[in-house]
Amino acid sequence: MKKRTLILLMFSLANAEDLKMQIYKPVTSSCPASWLSEIEMSIAKPEIMSIVDIKGLKSDIGIPKELQSCNTSILGDYVFEGNVPPEAIKKFMKEKPAGAIGLSLPASQNNEAVKKVYILYPDKIYKLYGTY
């Protein structure tokens, strides 16, 4: 794991007890207000950070290009790529699947009526987690 990712993960672990979700987004982009509101009401208080090298962060974490989206969030030990539905995050955090590093809602799924969410594993391995 690269130094930048390790620092971000250590920062998120230090703040996990505060139930804050760190949301990293490109400086030129904004997260949908409706998604942020859902996260705050049902998961954790979002803390939004704009960064210049979001692609580098995604690469360091190991998010496959085909699963990348607008933002990358960290909650505790886990990463959530894109605007993952809060129901999927809650289910994941309750189950904490062995070996998983998080979930992804790829950009290609943002405008779909039924969204496919993928579970992420180390070494850019993933599989379908569920539809929402």
CA distances from 105 to 2, 85, 99 (A): 23, 8, 19
10-residue stretch averages of pLDDT, the chain, 132 residues long: 48 54 89 89 92 93 95 96 97 97 96 96 97 97
Look at residue 60 and give its three-state secondary structure: helix
Compute the distance between CA of residue 10 and CA of residue 110 in angstroms, rounded to an integer. 29
Task: Report the pLDDT value the prediction gives residue 15, as an integer from 0 to 100.
Answer: 46
Phi, psi of 10 (to 5 degrees): -65, -40
Task: Report the pLDDT value the prediction gives residue 18, as an integer from 0 to 100.
Answer: 57
Look at residue 92 and give its three-state secondary structure: helix
pTM score, whole prediction: 0.84
Task: Report the pLDDT value the prediction gives residue 16, as an integer from 0 to 100.
Answer: 45
Domain total of the chain: 1
Domain carrying residue 59: 3-131
